[in-house]
Structure 1
Amino acid sequence: MSTNNTEIELTDEQILQFEQQIKDEEAQKIPLVCQDEPLLKLEEEFKDNEPFLQKIKNLSRKHNRIRKCRGDGNCFFRAFAFAWFESALHDNDKFKTALARLKMTPKLLEKGGFQPLAFEDFYEITVEQFENIPKYASDPDMFLVNFQSEEISNAIVMHLRFVASAYLRVHADEYEPFLVAEMISIDEFCAMHVEAFGRESDHLQIIALAKALDTPVEVIYLDGSSDSEAAVHEFWPDESQKGQRQPLQLIYRPGHYDILY
């Protein structure tokens, strides 16, 4: 009787798929967007990680709450969207300005090569939700519930992904030099890393969305460095406006974005 000792070799792609499946299953356990909670909760989460813990404790001088988003690869776009909508809840001028900007995005998308058929459903849901902001001001719970709906929340994420992609495609000459090391074109980068649902985001996506929607973003980075203060990266649509407006505030730790208050 012969014994077959052959071990099954998994390809790199299969290993990545397996790891992604585990991440997805873990992610499903939390809402797309959570209730906000005290920053102390983040301290508890990283109580055994001294470099992170020190930075979080120092953050508490300026910030006191955090709102977590599901870690499904869309967390930057979802966190940006929720924070952007929320910033207009109690500011009528900001609401009108942001809505007007949102209604300009179809022109940008068409200029970036998108057919209306590809984006109009996502756009309509996004605009409908934004137009409901005056109603949500008196019912913030319903605002959160809608952002926890897969259909609504994911449509908004896809619209913002397309907006960021269109901005990069239209301004390819400016941003393609950033991709020299990857040896890919801006079109390839957008198709693989910006438009693809569930792909994580980095500086180019943040820059593009901040500029396309004329919305400043501040990202506080938690990392394992020995510094006691977290690094702060600011993304201003126009550097001349720096300090004149309140940016959306996000917190980043490797592979994940949440909202900071």
Structure 2
Amino acid sequence: MSEDLPEKETEQPSYLLWYILILVLFLLLLFCYGKKCGQSKIQPKENEGIQLKLLEDQKIYEEQKLSIQENQSTVQMDQNRLIMSNIVKQFQKLQKQVEYQHKSCGNLLIYQTSQQIVQQSVNKIKQIYDYSSKLRAVDENQKYYIRRFQDKSELRKNYGLTLKTSAELYKNCNSFREVRGDGNCFYTAFGFQFLSILLFEYSQDQFNDFFNKIRQIELPMKIFVPNTNLKIDDKEIEKQLLDEFQRRMTKLKLIEDINQREEQFSNEFAAYEQQSEEIDGCLYGLSTIFFRNYSNYVVDFSDAKDAVYDREKLLNWEEECNSNEVVIAELAKQLNTFVQLIFIENSNNIVIREYGINKIHKIILLIKPGHYNIGYYLQDTIIDQYIQFLNQLKGINWKDYEYGNNQQNTLQEAEEKIEKLYSEIAILKQNNTLKQKDAFKIIGFQLLPLT
């Protein structure tokens, strides 16, 4: 028995060692778990702090970026307002200069003619009508010396043109007026257009200069009515007729409203009989006599005057001169106009001949064998384009302007085009070639300052 005791004593320490190891492992596990839990509690707090700092930095960055953009927008807005202010000042200066040049009517004087002399002139014209046009039965619509304005579709239809020929014609003429076919049609078509130049394109000074020259050359006002004894071949009567013609033209020129002036002129010229106290049907007769005599006068300046073999017809009422091209060429030269003579030979062919070099004042004559009509080529003028761009600027809402939007491009494009057009208008004004009708568009346009 004494030998067994030591074995049991030696076994007990091994069990104890295992208990100690297990306890140590347990404590180690417990320590590790506790450390891990502690770290997991600290980590979210650290992440949250980093995220808050990032958000704060982002906010500061956005505020700085917005501030820069606002500063840029303010600077751009100031620049744009300066540009617009300069455009407004430039236009207002132009407007005053044009108004001074074109709207002063104080130097236009109407000849003070007694009512008795006026009536004598009217009676002479009406007497000519009685012995010519009133002897013929004419449809009521055909009696007017000029008729209504017609567009290009009616132009094509009137002359029966093909699509190809009409397209060629539209490059030079895209509308027209018919004139009465009475043997005076050339003087009607040419005269109406040149009088329109006097009334709507010439300045007051140019208008005066024209009639002063007519006075200086002492232009006659003769006329002979074929197959009758009726004639005007008396210097005193001729002077009365010229005075009356100038008086009527001056009275029209003094109408301030350009649209009213156009309407009054068209109505007076078209009338074939007494319509009112103002419209007595005699302006056409006075104009025809005037341009027949002026044509006879200018032929003497032509190198080809001998080619006008039937010159006596120039002063014959309702008779057409068969060598009109010589007359047209010299009229264009002496009146400083550009004349386009468009021959409409048939539905498939037109021939265009041009006379004169001053394209500022243009006359278009449509001729189909035996008859002349009035032609027009309508398009926007430099002044129309200028006003269109100014209107674009009026449409910009500057209070809502934001940097980088489309209004910036609109302003820059408009500024460049306005500057270019302004320079062209300034040249016209300087050369005294700005048409009065266009001048009145500038005078009547209102460009309000930016708000």
Contact 1:210-1:217 at 8 Å conserved across structures: yes
Bigger relative contact order, structure 1 or 2, given CA contacts below 8 A and separation 6+? Answer: 1
Shift, 1:190, TM fit: 3.0
Alignment pair present for 1:258 and 2:367:
no
Q: Tell me by how many angstroms 1:102 deviates.
A: 3.0
- Aligned equivalent of 1:175, options 299, 304, 307: 304
In the alignment, which residue of structure 2 is the partner of 1:17? none
Q: Tell me: CA distance 1:111–1:127, structure 2 relative to 1, closer, same or farther (3 Å).
A: closer
Q: TM-score, normalised by structure 2?
A: 0.43
Matched, 1:87 2:217: no
The equivalent residue for 1:68 is: 178
Check the 8 A contact 2:146/2:178 in 1, yes or no: yes
1:138 maps to 259
1:234 is aligned to 2:354: yes
Q: Deviations over 1:122-174 (max 9, x none)?
A: 32232123212241623122111110233111111101111111222x437x3
What is the match of residue 187 of structure 2?
A: 77
Map of 1:20-59 to 2, 5 A cutoff?
25-26=137-138, 29-30=141-142, 31-47=144-160, 54-59=164-169
1:245 aligns with 2:360: yes
Among all aligned residue pairs of Structure 1 and Structure 2, give the percentage whose two residues are the same amino acid: 17
Equivalent in the alignment of 2:284: 153
1:250/1:257 contact within 8 Å kept = yes
Tell me which amino acid in the other structure corresponds to 2:343. Y
**Quick check: 2:221–2:238 contact (8 Å CA) kept in 1?**
no
Q: Distance in 1 between matches of 2:253 and 2:219?
A: 26
Aligned amino acid, residue 190 of structure 1: R
Partner SS, residue 178 of structure 2:
strand
TM-score by length of 1: 0.70
> Does structure 1 conserve the Cα–Cα contact (< 8 Å) formed by 2:148 and 2:178?
yes
Secondary structure, aligned partner of 1:223: strand
Measure how far apart 1:244 and its partner are: 5.0
- Structure ID, larger Rg: 2
2:308 pairs with 1:195: no
The count of corresponding residues between Structure 1 and Structure 2 is 219
Partner of 2:328: 206
| Structure with greater proportional helix content | 2
Distance 1:69 1:109 in 2: 29
- CA-based RMSD of the aligned residues comes to 3.2
- 1:12 is aligned to none
Q: 2: CA distance between counterparts of 1:161 and 1:212?
A: 14
* Residue identity opposite 2:285 in structure 1: N
The amino acid across from 2:214 in the alignment is T
Q: Is the CA contact 2:221–2:239 (under 8 Å) kept in the aligned structure 1?
A: no
- Is the CA contact (8 Å cut-off) linking 1:27 and 1:72 kept in structure 2? no
Q: Distance in 1 between matches of 2:254 and 2:287?
A: 18
